[in-house]
Chain A
Amino acid sequence: EIVLTQSPGTLSLSPGERATLSCRASQIVDSSDLAWYQQNPGQAPRLLVYGASTRATGTPDRFSGGGSGTDFTLTITRLEPEDFAVYYCQHYGSSLFIFGPGTKLDIK
């Protein structure tokens, strides 16, 4: 079974800065099976990116996903106040969905 590891656990940055979040899979995965979500406190997760790099409808273009093999990243080029949240990566394979443990992005 594939395990997803996200780093860092917490990332403290200021509005306007660039954020790079990492998601590492325990074995090589197909990029098409990797997605990213944003979750604010008390809310449901919101899909940001699927297929590793395709922005979901409504996702601002300051969000970009990339990577391949075992290493994937979500980059936010210029942080807005509403971007401070928890981010999860998700993998699908062998009829199983797995989520990473999350990265909390908080205001420095």
Chain B
Amino acid sequence: QLQLQESGPGLVKPSETLSLTCSVSSGSIAISSYFWGWIRQSPGKGLEWIGNIYYTGSTYYNPSLENRVTISVDTSKNQFSLKLNSVTAADTAVYFCARESGLYTTGSPHFDYWGRGTLVTVSS
């Protein structure tokens, strides 16, 4: 069973950069047909997609965050990472990593495996 696990600081100061890593186990990240993504959920709120990456490094981002986001992949470590710069309190959220399936297979894009999420609080 594929497993994803987020890791990184739980507290980030305003204006600094939020950095998280997603470690993938029981499966390779370098498999064709799947993208790997980040989704966040502000406390008590709904889900917001941040962006996705393919194992080749190809990315696509939510336009609302695109100017602050960088997602990268390290296939040797079976990990992918998120960097969000110039954070504010509005970026406080639980951040999930997930596998995106369907875009290159069934033609029905969706997220089928998720990490448990990690809470990141932006505060001085």
Point out residues on A near B: beta carbons under 8 Å. Answer: 32-33, 35, 37, 43-47, 50-51, 54, 56, 88, 90, 92, 95-102
Contacts and interface: CB of A to CB of B under 8 A. Distances in A.
Contact of B112 (A33, A47, A51, A98): A47
Interface residues of B, number: 25
Given A44-B114, A47-B111, A47-B112, A99 B49 contact: yes
Interface stretch (B9-17, B20-28, B68-76, B102-110): B102-110
B46 A100 contact: yes
Given A44-B115, A96-B62, A54 B46 contact: no
B109 A92 contact: yes
Given A44-B114, A47-B111, A96-B63, 4 more contacts: A50-B108, A51-B106, A96-B62, A101-B46
Contact of A44 (B37, B96, B110): B96
A88 B117 contact: no
B47 A35 contact: no
Nearest to B114: A44
A51 B102 CA distance: 9
Contacts of B102: 50-51
A64 to B, nearest CB: 16
B49 A35 contact: no
B60 to A, nearest CB: 5
Interface of B: 37, 39, 46-49, 52, 60, 62-63, 96, 98, 102-103, 106-112, 114-117
Contacts of A100: 46
Contacts of A47: 110-112
18 contacts: A33-B109, A35-B110, A35-B111, A44-B114, A46-B114, A47-B111, A50-B102, A50-B106, A51-B102, A51-B106, A92-B103, A92-B109, A97-B49, A97-B62, A99-B46, A99-B47, A99-B49, A101-B46
A51 B46 CA distance: 21
B104 to A, nearest CB: 12
B108 A88 contact: no
B46 A102 contact: yes
